Amino acid sequence: MLATTGYASRMDRDEVMRVLRAFESAGLEYVLIGAAAMGFHGLVRATEDLDLFIRATPENIDKLRSALRAAYEGDPTIDEISSADLLGEYPAIRYVPPTGDLYFDVMTRLGEVASFETIDAEIKDVDGAKIRVATPAALYQLKKGTVRSQDHVDAAALRERFNLKDEG
């Protein structure tokens, strides 16, 4: 059910799967990072968003728009997602769909540290949908160097669970 108050109500499984299937159908080149990716690896914590890196090409950003249009039919704000921004001055965008049950942080690069091409990933299958998820080691590399306290907690959990070592 759509929220009629304009307020978020819940993270809906059907909505998440609809979007992930739309990514696959559109041929979007992406890798899931963040709490959702950690969830795939058994480190479960709550989140309000899905974080993803996408390959930074105009064609792939077209696919992102197509996928979101398929998942959230009739939302005109999707047209505001542009190659000029994501390949230029704004490498991160947040899309909050009309349902507001969850939102998406989409990135093309993280400073000089990470991009779609540099993040190791594996394919997970959920109800036949193929989902590209960052590996535990890749997540650890992304999280260990940030200033966000939640990332430090996540990095420590990943290091402990997967016996990860710092390189060098």
Partner 1 sequence: MPVQKFRSIEEMNKAPLPESRGSNFERFLRHCARWWAIAPKYYPRGVFKFRTIEEAQKAREKHLPLK
Distance CA(71)–CA(113), nearest Å, equals 31
Residue 9 near partner 1 by CB under 8 A: yes
Contact 54, 33 (CB under 8 A): no
Q: Would you give the binding string for partner 1 spanning residues 131-150, x where CB under 8 A is met? A: ---------------xxx--
Residue 8 near partner 1 by CB under 8 A: yes
Distance CA(160)–CA(164), nearest Å, equals 7
The amino acid that residue 10 corresponds to is R
Whose Cβ is closer to partner 1: residue 1's or residue 168's? 1
Q: How far is the CB of 119 from partner 1 (least distance, A)?
A: 14
Interacting span for partner 1 (CB under 8 A) from 22-30, 52-60, 73-81, 155-163: 73-81
Contact 119, 138 (CB under 8 A): yes
Please provide the DSSP assignment of 15-66 as one string. HHHHHHHHHHHHT--EEEEHHHHHHHTT-----SEEEEEE--SHHHHHHHHH
Residue 130 near partner 1 by CB under 8 A: no
Within 17-46, the residues that bind partner 1 by CB under 8 A are 35-36, 38-42, 44-46
| Binding residues for partner 1 (CB under 8 A) | 6-13, 16, 35-36, 38-42, 44-49, 77-78, 80-81, 85, 89-98, 100-103, 105, 107, 110-111, 124, 126, 146-148
